[in-house]
Amino acid sequence: MNIPADRLTLEQINSMAKTDFVEHLGGIFEHSPWVAEGVYSRRPFDSVQELHAAMMETARHAEPGQVLALLRAHPDLATRLAVSPLSAAEQRGAGLDRLTPEEFVQLTGLNAAYTAKFRFPFIFAVRGKTKEEILSAIGERVGRSLEEEQKQALLEIGAITRFRLEDLLGAE
């Protein structure tokens, strides 16, 4: 099997020193390298799915303040501010860089209402979604309870990070 130049193998990941492991996997969870640090000692991983499950378990079982920091590390969707390269590419793929002025105002308003209510940004796995689906989702989710949204946000982070790991390592 030929591995693309920007892809790593699970064997390479399993054999890395901790600093290299965290350097390569630290950005999978938005600005939260502590997740990669937390799973390093659990190597070797037999599959990308096992690695992802370990990372999600680490994120879910962190101290509440650390989980909140993870949620808050995500950018607002369609923000005009700087975002991580991974987030920017994901948002471009969903058409969020091509919002009409009206759609941008709508999304900005919904983002503000969501963040004011929940104290973390709206998190949505945008890959494969349209801007219309994203607008619909945030419109629905802003009416939920904090507990529902924290659970949903972690589910969305799970989808986002699974995509990112599969991009980096393939779907072994």
Least confident of 56-60, 91-95, 151-155, 168-172: 91-95
Q: Which residues are catalytic?
A: 74
> Which contacts (CB < 8 Å, 24+ apart) does range 43-52 have?
43/13, 43/14, 44/14, 45/10, 45/13, 45/14, 46/10, 47/10, 47/172, 48/10, 48/165, 48/166, 48/169, 48/170, 48/171, 48/172, 51/10, 51/13, 51/165, 51/169, 52/158, 52/161, 52/162, 52/165
Q: Could you report the per-residue pLDDT of 70-110, keeping only the tens digit for each?
A: 999 988 776 544 445 666 566 666 667 777 889 888 988 99
